[in-house]
Structures are given as structure tokens and as C-alpha cells.
């Protein structure tokens, strides 16, 4: 499992950049530990973590699409499961099943992770994903 530590500053309006690697046919799990600008764990369990009055708490979503190269067809090719593994500790995971990664062609992709509290949506992290095709061997 890959781990990334990112700093989330909602007032900056700029997502953190983090590149990932996926191996086709293998389950993909990346854990993100989110800290605020003071290096303290970002508390996703608090509805008022960034001063937004809401009782709905935080949710997350993430999609993977083909790179934004000239002539590339855009559109989500896969949707990550975003799970808060320790909301108070600022931890969430992006996961794809082995079957979902098997369906991806080798190449470069882009992704982003959106988190929301109430009706406010933040683009927390963006990056590139390099997908390697599954490797097999002949006995």
C-alpha cells in the first residue's frame, strides 16, 4: 500500500500534487494522511474543520481519466472508492479492485480527489497515474 502525506489549506484554493502508480490486475490502495498548515492532522470528523457550519460531515470522491494530451478523449475511466479510515486523524484511502485495474490500459492517466462538507467542494489532491500492464510469466 502506498502512503502519501499532504497538506490541505482550503483557503489556498490549490490542490496538492501527488503522482501514483497502478499495476494492472492488482488491487490498488493509496493512503493519504492529511495535515493542516500547522502540520496537525486535519479533522474530517468535524463539520466545522474549515469554519463551515454543517451537520453533514465530510465526503470524498475521486475519478481517473485518460491524460489531457491533445486529442485525448476525456471522461472517467474508473471511479476510486474514497474511504475515511481515520476521519479525526486526517486519513483516507483511494482504492480500486484488482478487476478494475485489470480493465485499465497501460499508459498515463490523471486523477483528482474532491472532498466536501455540506455544499462546499474542495479539490484536495490532483496528479498523474502511471498504469503498468499486468506482467505474466511462462513456466
Residue where the block lists cell 474532491: 114
* First vs last C-alpha separation in the chain: 28
Q: What CATH number should be reported for the domain holding residue 77?
A: 2.60.40.3350
Does any domain span residue 138?
A: no
Supply the range of the domain harboring residue 57: 2-132
Q: What is the pLDDT along the chain (139 residues), one digit of tens a residue?
A: 789 999 988 888 899 999 999 999 999 999 999 998 889 998 888 755 555 545 567 889 999 888 665 555 556 688 999 999 998 899 999 999 999 999 888 999 999 999 988 788 899 999 999 999 866 545 5
Do the beta carbons of residue 92 and residue 70 sit within 8 Å? no
Number of domains forming the structure of the chain: 1
Amino acid at each position: 500500500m502506498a502512503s502519501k502525506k499532504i497538506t490541505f489549506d482550503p483557503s489556498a484554493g490549490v490542490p496538492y500534487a501527488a503522482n501514483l502508480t497502478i499495476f494492472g490486475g492488482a488491487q490498488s490502495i493509496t493512503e493519504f494522511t492529511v495535515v493542516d498548515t500547522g502540520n496537525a492532522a486535519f479533522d474530517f470528523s468535524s463539520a466545522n474543520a474549515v469554519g463551515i457550519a454543517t451537520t453533514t460531515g465530510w465526503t470524498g470522491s475521486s475519478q481517473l481519466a485518460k491524460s489531457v494530451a491533445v486529442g485525448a478523449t476525456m471522461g472517467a475511466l474508473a471511479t476510486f472508492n474514497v474511504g475515511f479510515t481515520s476521519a479525526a486523524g486526517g486519513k483516507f484511502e483511494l482504492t480500486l479492485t484488482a478487476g478494475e485495474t485489470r480493465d485499465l490500459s497501460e499508459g498515463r492517466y490523471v486523477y483528482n480527489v474532491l472532498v466536501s462538507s455540506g455544499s462546499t467542494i474542495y479539490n484536495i489532491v490532483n496528479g498523474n497515474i502511471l498504469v503498468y500492464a499486468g506482467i505474466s510469466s511462462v513456466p
